[in-house]
Structures are given as structure tokens and as C-alpha cells.
Amino acid sequence: MESDGIGNKIVLQLEEKEPRKGYIQPVQGRNLQNKLRFSKSPQKWWEKRYEPNMKEITSAQDLVDSLRNAGDNLVILDFFSPSCGGCRSLHPKIIQFAETNKDVLFLQVNYEEHKSMCYTLNVHVLPFFRFYRGANGRLCSFSCTNPTVKKFKNALAKHTTERCSLGPAKGLEESELLALSANRDLSFNYIPKQKPISVSAEEQLRERPNLADTEILLPSTEDKHLAEQPAEASI
């Protein structure tokens, strides 16, 4: 608001202009914080198009439970790293396999988040896969990339055939469970299975009766005399 020199007041309306290129228009601090808070970060490549039968492992206990609760279904462990180029290029095909094999459970294990667990499970190359099913436990393990994806296809076709395994799902080997439990970096506890007590040969000999202490009944003289007489012929 300005004066015209005579005493009348003049109201001036400022025209809003578009900011120049390269010019950053100031925003109030509170509005800027709200925009940053609700802005979505770009989706990570290994999180894209997750299928219902795909799951990301969060801990060693989660891995053990997921394998044991899978029943007789085929389970595939997919060890990957966000910085692995081979893992990234192969990921879209893994999603396709999950789409066409709804009964197969794909467990994603992020190597960068679970390095200590991967070391304990002897995973030293990426991408790396392990196949598990029912009471048979681990069926095969191998590494492959896009050029060698046929190895994955063949294993998938071989182990998705209908079968019935007797007993509960085995999951990891006993030695692997013990190794995970011994790893101080992991919050995982495992109680070893009690093996049946085997009786040693020495204990078996102790349980056998001593022939020297056993009473032996000898035939009497009368029984011996009757045995020597000829038998009467029947008419």
C-alpha cells in the first residue's frame, strides 16, 4: 500500500510470476518436513512384484520355521545380494517361476542382511539356490545365472513331480542347526535330538545268564530204565 502524494492511498496487487529455471522457491519448514515424510522412496529391485508364494526371510528362526511348516511342498531358498548383478538380472525369471508354480515356496535370503547366517550355512557364491522337500530334506543345491538358468528349470521340473514323503518336513540338517545355534551373532537356540541309547557288547554279556550258576536237571535212574525198554507194538 502506497500514497499518491495527495493523501489518497493506493492498493497495489503484486502479480505472481513463475519461478525462473534453476530457482528454488522457499517452502515453509513444516510443509517441507511433511513432504519428505510422505514421499515414497523408489522400490528396490528385489521387492518388485512379490508373489504370494514368495517370502523374505527375516532371521535364522524364521528360516527354520518356514522349512518345517512347508509340509510336503517344494521349498526353494534363494540367496541373493542387492549389489549382485547376476542376482538382479535373474530376479524377473524367478518371479515367473513363482507365478507358474503356485505350490512351490520361494524363500528369499538377503545376503547383506544375514551374512553371518549365510557363512554358517556355507553359502559363498551368489546367486545360490537350495531345494528342500518334506521328509527328504535338502534335495540339491547349486548356483546359476541367466546363461545357466536351464539348470534351475531342470531341477524345478524334477522335484515338482507328485510324491508323498513319509514323516514331517526335515528342513535343515542337524549339523546346520547346531552350527546356527552355536553362532553368537544369531539369536537362535536349538536343543539337539536325543539319540537312542545303544547297549554295548560288554553290557550285553553282563545281561547273559552264567551257565555255571544255572541248575541242570538230570534224568533219574527210573526214567533211564524206562527209556531202555523196547516199546510195545500196537495191534
Give catalytic residues, as residue numbers.
Answer: 84, 87
* Residue in the structure block whose three cell numbers are 495527495: 6
* Buried/exposed code over 79-104 (b: 16+ C-beta within 10 A; e: otherwise): bbbeebebbeebbeebbebbeebeeb
* Residue in the structure block whose three cell numbers are 528349470: 153
Give kind and range of the element (H or E) at residue 109.
Answer: strand 105-110
* 35: Cβ contacts below 8 Å, ≥ 6 apart: 27
Question: Does residue 49 come out as left (phi exceeding 0), alpha (psi in the -120 to 50 range) or beta?
Answer: left
Using a 10 angstrom Cβ sphere, with 0-12 exposed, 13-18 middle and 19 or more buried, the burial of residue 60 is buried
* Residue in the structure block whose three cell numbers are 519461478: 19
What would the 3-class secondary structure string for 159-194 be? HCCCCCCCCCCCCCCHHHHHHHHHCCCCCCCCCCCC
* 185: Cβ contacts below 8 Å, ≥ 6 apart: 116
Sequential DSSP letters for 110-160: ETTT-HHHHHHTT--SSSEEEEEEGGGEEEEEEE--GGGTHHHHHHHHHHT
